[in-house]
Amino acid sequence: SSPMKWYHVCRYKRSSLVPYRVYREEILSRSPYVSLLYQFINGTEADQIVNASVSNLTHGAVKGAEGLLHFVEGASLGSSVEIAGRIADRISDLTGLYTGPTGKEGSSWTGDPMHTYDPPIVMRNSGYRMASVLIYVSTSAPLQRQKSQLSDVNAGGATTFTSLNVTVTPSKGNALLWYNLRPSGEMEAAITHAGCPVAVGAKWVAVKGLWSKGNELRRPCGLKRTASHLAVDKMLITRPKTRPHT
């Protein structure tokens, strides 16, 4: 195999909009692409997400392994909510992808989800999910009385990518980024993941799906059909800037 490069493990991922802005990223899997963003949001923003969600929580069931149903609470936050719009803009800056209304709105979840997402994920009006961002927003901020016992996750609650042998412990403000589609547009079958039970504390996560509709021309497909997202990132970094015609 080729020798390790600086962009294979840890890096400062450049903003797609602001030249001096960077994101601290640890690459957990090269292909399929999975990475951990450190302190993607701050504590105040995490608390704002939860406080904006707690009054709109609804009960739901998620079908997991072997057909088992796991009950969770969730709230959908549209981009009209100030904190949701701000984080969506940051995700767009991170990925270079469109996060507007053609994509599924972000959600904030609480409880012990034990959920499994199995690709392909298809929405009738939004196409395929290209990428996903999961933000850990566990919080001990003052909430409504029935939620006042919630605290940060002290044990359990990890996110595990079962086919990759990758497990991530939740930490408030950190975010996971993974691509559900390869640069070629093919499904990434090995990206299946699940949430482990919370042993002590409570886990809140905010999930944002980035969909193919509206993103057809925003990310290159790579020079080869087998190109990885790392190869595409390297191509974007080294691509020469064009000068306007005079």
CB atoms within 10 A of CB 156: 16
96-136 pLDDT, tens digit each: 898 876 544 455 544 434 444 444 444 444 458 889 999 99
156-199 pLDDT, tens digit each: 788 999 888 899 998 999 999 999 988 888 888 888 888 887 77
d(CA 134, CA 194): 12
Dihedrals phi, psi of 47, to nearest 5 degrees? -65, -35
Residue 244: the pLDDT is 43
Where does the chain show beta strands of DSSP type E?
10-14, 22-29, 34-37, 58-63, 69-77, 106-111, 116-117, 122-123, 127-136, 155-156, 159-161, 166-168, 175-179, 193-195, 198-200, 203-211
**Domains, the chain:** 18-237 (2.60.120.620)
Q: Report pTM.
A: 0.79
